[in-house]
Amino acid sequence: MTVYFECTTRTALPIQELFDRARSIDVHKDSMARSREEAVGGVTSGLISKGEEVTWRAWHFGVPLRMTSRVTEMEPPDRFVDEQIRGPFWRFRHVHDFSEDAAGTTIVDRIEFEAPFGVVGRAVEKLVLARYLKKLIEGRNRHLAADF
């Protein structure tokens, strides 16, 4: 079963700066320090672009995980999409949409995923994984929006 959720974040940053922070491997690593996330393959620093891949190694729920994602769509500075091509999910798609107005920029993250838990795991997907992932994205976005 596909699980879907959205996270919306507002910031005073200009759209291009937020767009670049969102696709920065280095900023992502900083925002995910608690899970010891490291880029270990593909693009391992700088800005990732359409068609490029990154392999992440991290610890979640006390388990070491690897996930390789590819940027499948990019319309600077309004949108990009990354999708898992190898990793723990059956399917994982992350749409990053950006819009700007006089007060600043909004990023809306749209996440869709399916975990390999079968019928028994549908509750785990919604009650555990979706909440956990939403908190990760919200924390990441607070980091993106911060003035550093």
pTM of the model: 0.93
What pLDDT, on a 0 to 100 scale, did the predictor assign at position 70?
98
| The predicted structure's pLDDT at residue 121 | 67
Q: Give me the pLDDT at residue 66, please.
A: 97
Judge whether 48 and 54 are in contact, CB under 8 Å: yes
Task: Report the relative pairing of strands 63-75 and 79-86 from DSSP bridges.
Answer: antiparallel
pLDDT for position 148: 60
Residue-wise pLDDT for 36-49, tens only, equals: 999 999 999 999 99
Low-confidence ranges of the chain (pLDDT < 70): 117-121, 148
Contact 53, 42 (CB under 8 A): yes
d(CA 82, CA 133): 15
pLDDT the model gives residue 131: 92
Q: Please tell me the predicted confidence (pLDDT) of residue 119.
A: 56
Residue 46 has φ and ψ, to the nearest 5°, of: 80, -160
Number of H helices, E strands in the chain: 4, 7
Domain covering 3-145, topology: Alpha-D-Glucose-1,6-Bisphosphate; Chain A, domain 4 (3.30.530)
Structure-block tokens of residue 101:
């107005």
